Each structure stands twice: as C-alpha cells, then as structure tokens.
Structure 1
Amino acid sequence: MQADQSNTPSTGKGGKDSPFDLLVVGGGINGVGVARDAAGRGLSVLLCEKGDLAEGTSSRSGKYIHGGLRYLEYYEFRLVREALIEREVVLNVASHLSKPLRLVLVHSPEQRPRWLIRLGLFLYDHLGGRKRIPGTTPVNIQQEWPVGLIEPSFTKGFAYYDVWIDDARLVILNARDAARRGAEIHTRTKIVAARRDGEMWQADLQDVLSGKVRTIHARAIFNGAGPWVENVLNAVEGSKTSSRVRLVKGSHIIMKKWWKGDNGFVLQAADKRIIFINPYFDDLALVGTTDIPFDGKPEDAAIDGNEVNYLIGILNRYFRKKHKADDVIHAYSGVRPLFDDDADKNASAVTRDYTFELDGVPDKTNYKPPLLSAFGGKLTTYRKLSEHALERLVPFFPHMGKSWTVGAPLPGGDIPDADLESWSREFRHAFPWLPDRLAGHYIITYGTEAATVLANAKSVADLEQHFGANFYEREARWLIQNEWARTSEDILFRRTKHGIFLTDAEKARFEEWLLERRGAA
C-alpha cells in the first residue's frame, strides 16, 4: 500500500454502519507502534496526526535504543530490563537503521565512585539477556588515546554498548507497516472533538491544511499524543483524568567530530547528569542532552544559550580540545512527556517509565467505549508499550489476535540473519554504479527496500535532478509517494538528514522543486 493512498479518506470504514475498531491519536513512536500492532492483530485502525509523523519528540531524541544506565540509580529495574531486551529486538527487525555502538564512560570520581559504576554496568550486562551486544570492559583512557584527546586527570573508564537508531525513520517504518496491514494514516489531521455515541466514539477530524472536517466512528480511542496528551483529553467530551505529564526539554548540538574511531563517549556532569557524545554520519558529532523543566507549547521548544554553554562546558572539562558556541553547526530540541508522579524531583530524576489511564467499561450491561491514554514512555520501549496498551483493550476486543511484533521485521529490515555487512556487499555488487557514500545512504535508510527505490536505474543520471550532497529527485519522489512527506522539512530532516549537508541555496532550490511539483499536481 502506498502511503499517499492512505491519506485519502476511506469510504469503506469509519461511517456509522462501518466504524473503525481503533482511532489512534498521535503520530509519534507510541502512536504508530500501537497502530501497527493493532492492525497486525486484525483490528481496523485509523491514525491521525496533527502535524507530520515524528515531528515532535520522536525525531528529537539522542538516537538511542538503550537500557538507561542511570535509571538503575533510581531502582527502575523493570524499566531497564525491558529496555535492554528491546535493544536486541530492534537489532533484529531493523538492522539497517540500528547498530551496536561502543560507548566509553570516562570515570570522574567526584560524581560517582568507580565501584558503583562497575556494579551498575554489571547489572546492565546481565539484566536483559544479551545475545548480540558485547559486554563491559575496563578502559585505560590515556593509553587508548595517547595523543592527548582527554585531559590527563581522567585515567580510568569503562566501555559498554548500546544501540544507535535513526529515530524518525523508526517511526516512519512503523507507520508504513501499519498501512501495509490495512491501517489508514492521516497526517496534518487533528482531532477537534470526540463524544460517546452509544457503544461507539464519534470523532471529528480536521484536515489542518484545508480546514475540512470528517466525522468518523470508532469502537475505541488510543491517545498517544505525547506532550499533547492532555490537549487531546480536553477535546474529548466528558473525559476525566487524574494523570498528568511533566514536560522536560532536551536539547542536542551537532559539531564537527574531533576524535578518531567509531566509539562514542559518556561524560558525567557536575550535577551528576550523563552526557553522550557520539559519532554522527562520517565526520560529525552529536552531543546531548539537557534536561530542563518546560511549561510552554511543546512545538515552540528551542535550544537556548544556557543549554549550549552547559554542553560545551562539559566537553571542555574532559577534552583537551576546547570548544566554543560558534562550533555548533546545528541544534535541535524536543519535549519529553514524562509521567508526573507528583514527586518533588529534578527533571533528570523523573521516571521514564510509562503508565496508562483507561476510561471505559467492557461489561455489556453497562458498556462504555474505551479511551486509553498513555502517559510517559521513551523511544526504546515503544514496542512493549504498544503490546501493553492492546492488552488493556482485550476486554473490549476479545477476538483480537495475539502479540506478534517481537520478531517481525519492519519494512527494509528483512535482512537475512540481520547481517547488514554481508547484505551490503551484495547490494553494492548489484548496483556497482552507485558512489560509495550514496550507496551507504540508501543501505542505512531503506535497507532491502533500497532496490525498490532505485528500480530500473542504471546510472546516477537515472536518479534525475541532483539537489546536493547525496540527495536526488528519485528519492524525493519515493518519499512523497510512499512515506507521507509533504514539506521540505519532512524530507530533509525527518525522512532523511540531507538538510544537515545541503547549503542554503540547495535547500532553496529543492523548495522550488517541491512548489513546482505541487503546482503541477
């Protein structure tokens, strides 16, 4: 099923006589995860997202599927175990998007004693049943980098592994798989009102571009709107909730990479927070994140000078090369919707776990169609959150299928034995005319679907207009036709990261191409 087709309103589902089983509100990682899982269990699903898929928090993460090493300090063992198990799942079902990443934690005795870190890493190695991910090893910092990379006062450390992921593409692939299994995916569509109508929900969905309103019926609603979860509840007539989200802004900066090797670094800040410095593409570094209480509109979140200085200050404490704010070439901020447990905690200590609130009664004598809202959560645990959400809805859908997503590849992820290296060699052999970097881009972005993106192309010229860097018209058309891409930001910063590498003039030229195409449609 092509993605642009599922933006077309369906005439066969959702009416009074033929309702959807499930209306999913929110096109972030939790929403698309639930839509995919539900569609695979045989439910009819419509997902609406007021902006673009992954436009909010889900494209502004640290790009990790990780257990959450520091969560052990807060005794969140269940969450850490669940997250550690999910690392292996993602490596198997999306091996083109993900890879194990070696992280060197530089020990700073002022923050935590060495024995405590070693104990935490021992638990990290053993809680999740590692299979493909290497375990922890001690590191002599000054011997591993004898050329003077790190300040000489730091001599000890540990190397451990987590999993790198393209977060926005993980969202897109879940949405595409949901659509392949029959779900309707509607971007730029917001829920403006919902009310119970007997045993059904009646919901008004508005196209934010045209203003047109479509009324649909659904047997259940899942509210996975993340930072906007309470806004959605406000649109639902008669909804009552005691749960709240606590918004925390996290910002990252991108700089030129200043060390050799494929490893990243983990640095302990003076406030005991942990900062990650990771290789990003071929020669960039991704640094983050901050944790700042946020009380504005989530869509308005942006990095400020204090955050930049905070991250730069941590870098300069550990590395001999001294950085300054002018070294930042790109930055982004996202708002994490953490579950508010009313505890008086700093932002870093607030739980990353998730909880649900269910408003509905399955008893046929007093039936009340369900509204299930998710509070909290993180990128890593989205698949388990989806399973748990549907478990909560089983009393309302007793004939739905069983859980199935744990071993099911995402689109492009069906690489034999999840052996990306071997498959990549075969791909390059099949497309010998592709320059090395361009081939690498298609491999990690599209996996086994790369051959479909390149169908019938015999040379670079067949990829049509070159917009700059590794970006060609053929790919832009694919993203518009198959991945709900509408704007230049959809394409340049969420479906891909070409926008980081294009000049302003090249971005403007691509914007002109989009406008011309839209005018000719």
Structure 2
Amino acid sequence: MREQAGDLQCDMLIVGGGVNGAGIARDAAGRGLSVVLCEKDDLAAHTSSASTKLIHGGLRYLETYEFGLVRKALAEREVLLRSAPHIMWPLQFVMPHDAGQRPAWLIRAGLFLYDHLARRELLPASGAIDLRRHEAGAPLKPAFERGFIYADGWVDDARLVALNAVDASEKGAVILTRTRCERLQREGGLWRAQLARADGSRIEVAARSVVNAAGPWAADLLQQARPQGAQSALRLVKGSHIIVPKLFDHPHAYLFQHPDGRIVFAIPYEHAFTLIGTTDIEYRGDPNQVCISEEEVGYLCGLAQRYFRQPVRAEDVVATYSGVRPLLDDASANASAVTRDYRLQLDRDGAPLLSVLGGKITTFRKLAEQAVDTLAPLLGCARPAWTEKACLPGGDIFGPVPNNRAVQEFDGYLRSLQRRYAWLPPALVARYARAYGRRIELLMEGRAEPAQMGEEILPGLYAAEVDYLMRREFAGCADDILWRRSKLGLHLPADAGSRLDAWIAARAGATVLAPAANAVR
C-alpha cells in the first residue's frame, strides 16, 4: 500500500462493508494484495446484520431444485463452524407437521438428501420425533403431535463481518468506515476514486481493480462506473424479523410453514427472547430507509400463533429489524422463490471491475475466494486460496488450524475462562467468550480485578470493552457497539444509546484507556 499526501494507491478497492466486501478484503489481503475497503456507514450496517442469523444449506431450496447451491452451502456450514466457534454454533431445528402440509414421506426424503449432499462431521442426522414426548413439543399447540428434527448452524452475523474486517486489517488492508465512494472512473489504466469521509475530508484512491460489493447499492455503483451499458440483474427483496420475550426454554429452534407455502423460523435469541422471521417482499424503495410494516408484524405474529400455545401479539414485540437482500433476478414469480445463489460479473474493458450480485451469508467465504481467484491473476498475484484452513480472529481457541474440537468442546473452554476470570460475573465472561473467543485475552490483558475494567458505563458494559471495540473493531458510536458488535441494546434501558454516545463524545481525543500500571504483560 502506498500513501502520498492523503491519497492511496492499491491493488484492489472494495466498495461495501457487508459480509461479501469484508470477506473479499480478508482473502485478498491474506494473499499479499494491497486493499482499501470503504463503507458508507458502519460495517454490516444494512443487509449483513439483518439476516435470520443462520449458517444453513437452505432446506427449502431443494424444492426449487437448486441442488448446486444447497450442496455448496452445506459444505460451507462446517468450514465456517470450525473457523469461528465462538460466534457460530450448531443448532437443531424442529419442524412440526400436520395433515395440511407436504406428506411426511416427502419431508423424510428431503431431509435424507439434505443429510447426504455434503460431508457432515459436526452436525447430527435428521429424524422424525414425537412432539408429545419431545421437549420441543411442550410450547406447541396439542394438534401438533409429529414432527421432524434436523441440524444447521447459528451465527452472529454482524460480528462475522467485523471479524473478517479485523483479519483483513491485520493483514494490511485499509478499512474505511463511514466513507462514501462519491466518484469512480477509469483513467490511465487505473480506477480513480474519490472517497468522502464523515468528517468532510476527502481521500483520492488509485486502484488497479475495483470490487463492487455494495449490496443493495451495487446497481447504483455500476451505473456510476459504467454509465453506458451497465447491467446489474438485481432484484431487491425485503426481509423483516420481530423479537418477542422468549416463548420456550429449550435450546431448539423451529421451522414453521405458512399455509401460503412460505416458511418462518422461531429461534432462541439472546437468552431472554425469541427471534421470528423472515418475510419476503419485493422492495422498490430507498434501501437506506427500509423498515418493517404493520402487515409484516401481523403476518409473523399470526404464523407464530398458529403453532405456539402462548399468544404472540403485536404489542408483545420488543424490537424489529429489516434488511434488503440484493438477489439475482431469475424472473421468479414471487419474492420467496428468488434464488439465493450469486454471480460474479467481471468487466475487463480497462482496469478490472468485479461486481458481486446476489448471495447468502453461508456462502460468503466461498464467494470471496472465487472473487479473489478471478482478480488475482489479472493483478499478477499467484498466491493460492487460504481461508478454508484458517480461523477468524478469536476462533483459534484450540490452535491456529480450524478443528472439530473447537466446536465440540466450547463449553469446556468457557468454564475454564470463568475460572480464570472468577472476579467477573460468570454471565459477563460467557458473553465475552462468545463475542471474542480467544481474543478475550487481548480484552483482559493486564486486568485482574473489576476496578481495572474502567468505568461501568452501562450495566455490563465497561470502558475496557468500549475501548477495545473502538480501537480494534472499527466501532465509532453507540449503535455500532450496542446493536452490531453486541446485542446489548436489547437488554439495556431505552436511553442507553444516548448515554453511551455522550460518554464517547466526552472522551473524544482523550488518552485511550490503558491497563493498570502493574499489569503483567
């Protein structure tokens, strides 16, 4: 990376700080390419923090015969689980069955295929269950007596993006959040970009290649870069979720089928809540202004009430979130059926421009690998792909190479941390372990008593953690910390965000919180 008078020169400029952009930055930087990533807001501020938070093959995609996509996603499940066992873990799903749904034999056949399309070491096989005897049957209405169970994975989606960006930065990438790409054009065999930062400053970038990973804004960026003949083939689909006080105490999730054929998940969330979603609605509005509608809230509550004994009403909803998924336009008649596969569109009419179209969070690593495989030869880079056998930051709890033990023995690792940091509440150590994995050692470096954690700004949020997130994970404000780097916003008073922002503003430019003077390093 060369920098002169505030300008940057790089091999690859990536526009977009969602999971695809961050994943590509990590892969490219790890192969020795100089990388600049710019994101107009925070990392994962839009689509990538608005998912159903699943690492899954996509059981329902078997019905549309997308066997290639399902196989690719199934293979990636366990690769990802091994790479970051702190922010991802196995989760079993219960599918209640009734006479109005697909016949039981067809569901069994689909689950058998799901179990065998890709190699499976960490996740148990699917099977039929008696809901009258299984713990997952108790919260359901008595009419649901039979069901099926299968396994996929859970992921903290926003932290997944942040950790990819952290790894990219540590390998040399420049990560610029709250930095908008205002101008992008080819000039003299390079891409010339003007980036505008939130503080009003400008950065000029000369890049040998550009990756358009702008998600819902990919078509806009393509139009800016190629005013003549730009084509994106994107279809924007809104997905919304509701969060309600927890409806069940067991660790399983549910997959419910609506009479209209769509499916909705009900997932244990943040210990005290149940996450219900998602909807699939064609979206033609401003992606910056996406939000849930009353109709969507009613739809999700109605489907939950169809299955659960406990009523689920609109007034029970404690939080919602919505995102716009930029999907490939495959001419499907309804939004639910649009493919979740991806396409990499390469423009070589001068300096290369690679546009990322479509995709799902489960296949982000493979997408990133293929994107860098496409551009690397054009940039004279011969280094091979590497991320399949590498841990994300904090995932190396049992060594630097991803392994099954890290997934299977995480609870034992957590107990060892709770003994090591017995001077902190066990629940706080558990949250740290899940958020930071082995990098809890960086957060806790030199700290041996509560006073060394700094001020408790909000319940359970100490200055030490805020400092860590701002210095190491690109957090800049309360929303970044309370809703993306963590989900503490769900557990704190309504004024928590304004209080944290005031605390950050009062310390702007102050010396970064340091460990105690007698710290052991």
The bucket for the TM-score relative to the shorter chain is over 0.9
TM-score w.r.t. length of structure 1:
0.93
Residues 1:389 and 1:321: Cα distance change in structure 2 (over 3 Å): same
Match of 2:394 among 403, 412, 422: 412
What SS does the corresponding residue of 1:185 show, helix, strand or coil?
A: strand
Match of 2:219 among 230, 240, 243: 230
Q: Is the counterpart of residue 309 in structure 1 residue 337 in structure 2? A: no
Q: Is the 8 A contact 1:203 1:216 kept in 2?
A: yes
Moved more, 499-508 or 275-284: 499-508
What is the letter of the counterpart of residue 312 of structure 1? C
What's the offset of the Cα at 1:212? 2.3
Q: Is the 8 A contact 1:149 1:259 kept in 2?
A: yes
User: What percentage of aligned pairs have identical amino acids?
Assistant: 46
What's the offset of the Cα at 1:151? 1.6
Match of 1:378 among 357, 360, 363: 360
What is the letter of the counterpart of residue 117 of structure 1? I
What's the offset of the Cα at 1:211? 2.4
What's the offset of the Cα at 1:307? 0.6
- Note the alpha carbon deviations across 1:56-114, whole angstroms, 9 max, x for none: 10011111111000001111111111111111011111001111001101113323221
Residues 1:351 and 1:195: Cα distance change in structure 2 (over 3 Å): same
What's the offset of the Cα at 1:397? 2.5
Q: Is the 8 A contact 1:469 1:501 kept in 2?
A: no
What's the offset of the Cα at 1:210? 2.4
Q: How does 1:131-150 map to 2 (within 5 A)?
A: 131-145=121-135, 148-150=138-140
Q: Is the counterpart of residue 501 in structure 1 residue 491 in structure 2? A: yes
Q: Which residue does 2:335 correspond to in 1?
A: 347
- Note the alpha carbon deviations across 1:419-461, whole angstroms, 9 max, x for none: 3123222222221112111010100000000121011222222
Match of 1:486 among 472, 476, 485: 476
Partner Cα distance (1:327, 1:276) in 2: 17
Partner Cα distance (1:248, 1:206) in 2: 29
What SS does the corresponding residue of 2:451 show, helix, strand or coil?
A: helix
> Can you give the 5+ residue segments of structure 1 that lack an aligned partner in the other structure?
1-8, 362-367
Q: Is the counterpart of residue 69 in structure 1 residue 69 in structure 2? A: no
Partner Cα distance (2:250, 2:77) in 1: 23
What's the offset of the Cα at 1:215? 1.4
Q: Is the 8 A contact 2:489 2:496 kept in 1?
A: no
Partner Cα distance (1:436, 1:14) in 2: 46
Match of 1:517 among 486, 507, 521: 507
Q: Which residue does 2:284 correspond to in 1?
A: 295
Q: Which residue does 1:49 correspond to in 2?
A: 39
Match of 2:431 among 416, 422, 441: 441
What SS does the corresponding residue of 2:373 show, helix, strand or coil?
A: helix
Residues 1:102 and 1:401: Cα distance change in structure 2 (over 3 Å): same
What SS does the corresponding residue of 1:142 show, helix, strand or coil?
A: coil
What SS does the corresponding residue of 1:455 show, helix, strand or coil?
A: coil
What SS does the corresponding residue of 1:462 show, helix, strand or coil?
A: helix
Q: Is the counterpart of residue 11 in structure 1 residue 16 in structure 2? A: no
Q: Which residue does 1:178 correspond to in 2?
A: 168
Q: Is the 8 A contact 1:14 1:216 kept in 2?
A: no
What is the letter of the counterpart of residue 338 of structure 2? V
Partner Cα distance (1:75, 1:145) in 2: 33
Residues 1:318 and 1:25: Cα distance change in structure 2 (over 3 Å): same
- Note the alpha carbon deviations across 1:18-69, whole angstroms, 9 max, x for none: 8311000100000000000011111110000011100010011111111000
What is the letter of the counterpart of residue 350 of structure 1? V
Moved more, 241-250 or 161-170: 241-250
What's the offset of the Cα at 1:504? 2.0
Q: Which residue does 1:277 correspond to in 2?
A: 266
What's the offset of the Cα at 1:13? 11
Residues 1:256 and 1:147: Cα distance change in structure 2 (over 3 Å): same
Q: How does 1:426-465 map to 2 (within 5 A)?
A: 426-465=416-455
> Can you give the 5+ residue segments of structure 2 that lack an aligned partner in the other structure?
399-404, 512-521
Partner Cα distance (2:347, 2:137) in 1: 61
